[in-house]
Chain A
Amino acid sequence: MYEKYMIVPEKAKKNEKGFEIGVRLPYYRGVSLSMVEEIEVSLDGETLPQNAVNITVNDKTYNLEQRENETNDRWEMGDIATLSIETPDDLPEGEHTIGLKINLRIGYMPFPSIRVDEKKLIFH
């Protein structure tokens, strides 16, 4: 569901600590941030640690622990969140393959709701 819309290519760019990408929630309704069980980002095939990923929704930025505890602020359906990912080394400019896995905890589903996307993005 909505896999191919997850990564928003136009929002990709380098920043001071690494890089950032735009991401849509792969679900048919909005959820509280606490229901986002996992956000896993890979860079050129290498999975980055989940605590290197911060998310910004509604102009507020959350690290992993803050996100897990945020039961009020919502990531609404179709809204483009910004993921900023810290990388150990400076990201070389140009094209990189970005993988994204989002796992949602949905109360009425007996199994985890996992969606993946992968896109080649240009970073400047």
Chain B
Amino acid sequence: MSLNIKRAVSLYSYQEEFFLRKMSLEDCIAAAATTGATGIELVGEQSVPGCPKLPSDAFVDQWFGWMDKYKVTPVAHDMFLDYNKKKGHYWTDDEAVESFKQDIRFAHKLGFKIIRVIVNTTPQIIEKVLPFAEDHDIILGIEVHAPWNINSAWMAKHWEVMEKTGTKHFGFIPDMGGFTRRLPRVQIERMIRNGADPEIAKFVCEQHEKGIMAEYTIFEVSRMSNRRIDMAVAELSRHNTYVNPLSLVPHIDRIVHIHGKCLEMLEDYTEYSIPYKEVIDVLKKYGYNGYIATEYEGNRHIQDIYEVDSVEQVRRHQVMLERMINV
């Protein structure tokens, strides 16, 4: 096994162009491969019509044909549990398990080895579905996405399942958005365009950078304004968290995959909000050798007035990763 961290791209990153039909699924795979990434991550329900229904044999052939043509490997499929799919009915555990199994079949059919488990999945569901995942050689990873961090109570419950079962098929998938030291400029500016008070936004950004607890900032802002949009700016500090990257260390062997979140890649190959180098240095030092998959998500914050260029944002992110990994 490689000692190095490996690079992947989640095709989620190209969602703007895919949504507008400016890029096809094949275009997305080709763009990912051009960056030098060797792995592909997929939100099935975004990229494959009908998912999680099993794709046709013709599609499966085409899919593996693309993998060969562009010299990339399927790495991870991202699943969802639509507990409230039917109005007025909340799924039983059995219904949730059945939905989960279908995603496992889907992932297996397209050659994925990892499933990103959506964060609302309960530890009980994981336990029930684990034998099926093991049978299909699929590793499950609960997404550790802000506002959760790897030491949150919810993640401790999932850790108990890992410990109790001793399985090699369940671990964590941290999202780099959990290391947001500066609030994303693209997000703040969008909210100001939508009517947020620029002075309050500036205050919230300063408090966040100082490391002030988000709840305190939210309380302060509630005394400055009674407008919902200003409160939403304050709440950004709660939904974009920063924790010390060393928090990953005790769990390093349980990290099965990583989401390389980015909202704004600058021309100098840094991410505006996230101190990537500090996180990657920790990952390297403690021997993480799985994939980091680029997950560009800035489009939604700039698409109201700017042309989105996901391909360039992903390229910059991959250049950054390549340089940091191989230093």
Contact = CB atoms under 8 A, between A and B. Distances in A.
Contacts of B21: 78
Contact of A108 (B80, B87, B303, B304): B80
B87 A68 contact: yes
Contacts of A2: 19, 300, 303
A34 B45 contact: no
Interface string B68-87: 00000000000011111111
A: interface residue count bin: 20 to 34
Contacts of B85: 32, 34-35, 71, 105, 107
Given A4-B304, A28-B15, A76 B82 contact: no
B50 interface: yes
A78 B87 contact: no
Contacts of B12: 28
A28 B81 contact: no
A4 B118 contact: no
B117 to A, nearest CB: 11
A107 B19 contact: no
B82 A32 contact: yes
A1 B300 contact: yes
Contacts of A107: 80-85, 118, 120
A35 B83 CA distance: 10
Given A30-B46, A34-B86, A108-B118, A24 B19 contact: yes
Nearest to B83: A107
A37 B87 CA distance: 8
A78 B45 contact: no
B19 A29 contact: no
A40 interface: no
A28 B80 contact: no
Interface string A12-34: 00000000000010001111101
A37 B82 CA distance: 13
A29 B45 contact: yes
A77 B82 contact: no
A98 to B, nearest CB: 18
Given A78-B21, A107-B84, A4 B303 contact: yes
A77 B46 contact: yes
A79 to B, nearest CB: 8
A65 B320 CA distance: 50
Interface string B280-317: 00000000000000000000100110000000000000
15 contacts: A2-B303, A29-B43, A30-B45, A30-B49, A31-B45, A32-B82, A34-B86, A71-B86, A76-B49, A77-B18, A77-B19, A77-B46, A78-B18, A107-B81, A107-B82
Given A29-B46, A78-B20, A107-B84, 15 more contacts: A1-B300, A2-B303, A3-B304, A4-B304, A24-B19, A30-B46, A35-B82, A37-B87, A69-B86, A78-B18, A105-B87, A107-B81, A107-B82, A107-B85, A107-B118
Interface of A: 1-5, 24, 28-32, 34-35, 37, 68-69, 71, 74, 76-78, 105-108
In the complex, the 9 A-B pairs of residues with the closest C-beta atoms, listed nearest first: A108-B120, A29-B45, A107-B83, A78-B19, A29-B46, A1-B300, A107-B82, A76-B49, A105-B84
Interface of B: 12, 15, 18-21, 43, 45-46, 49-51, 80-87, 118-120, 300, 303-304
